[in-house]
Amino acid sequence: MLSVRASAWRVLPLLVLVLAGCGVGDREARARAAAEGYLQAVKDKDPDKAMGFFAKTYFETRSATGWKADLRLITGRLGALQSYSLKSRTWRTDLVPPDSGTHVTLQYEVKYARHTATETFVVFKPFARGDYKIVGHTIASKGLM
């Protein structure tokens, strides 16, 4: 009986690793849906819809009105969004509250009418419940300098 317990303890870490890897494709697809939903809303010139892809916490440090003004400034300098392409992705799982959940970082090459940009999104889904929402967004472009 002792050897069965010892074997179970050897298998348990392997089982945890296997389960942690399950759903990687689904996680990426749902995270991409948030980032690409935002990009498509910007392309469609629908800032109200674009705001819906962000977590409520994103607007704790900025007002919705200020964010819309920033979006107008960005598209004013870069031009209308033409297309976007995913360039890289990484993910991590945090087990310690308050950030317990899955963070997916997605980097896109985005073509605007006058300039290109690299846009990076951090998309988060808490363990408890909820959908993937954007919690971080940065834009790098020569057109913004």
* DSSP assignment string, 61-123: SS-HHHHHHHHHHHHHHH-SEEEEEEEEEEEEEE-STTS-EEEEEEEEEEEESS-EEEEEEEE
The answer to whether 54 and 63 have CB atoms below 8 angstroms apart is no
Ordered per-residue pLDDT tens for the chain, 145 residues:
555 555 545 544 443 433 344 455 688 899 999 999 999 999 999 999 999 999 998 998 889 899 999 999 999 999 999 999 999 999 998 887 877 899 999 999 999 999 999 999 999 999 878 899 999 999 999 999 8
Give the 3-state secondary structure of residue 20: helix
Any idea where the domains of the chain sit in the sequence? 24-144
Give the 3-state secondary structure of residue 131: coil
Number of other residues whose CB lies within 10 A of the CB of residue 16: 10
Q: What's 24-144's CATH class?
A: alpha beta
Q: Report yes or no on whether pTM surpasses 0.85.
A: no
Query: pLDDT at position 111, please?
Result: 98
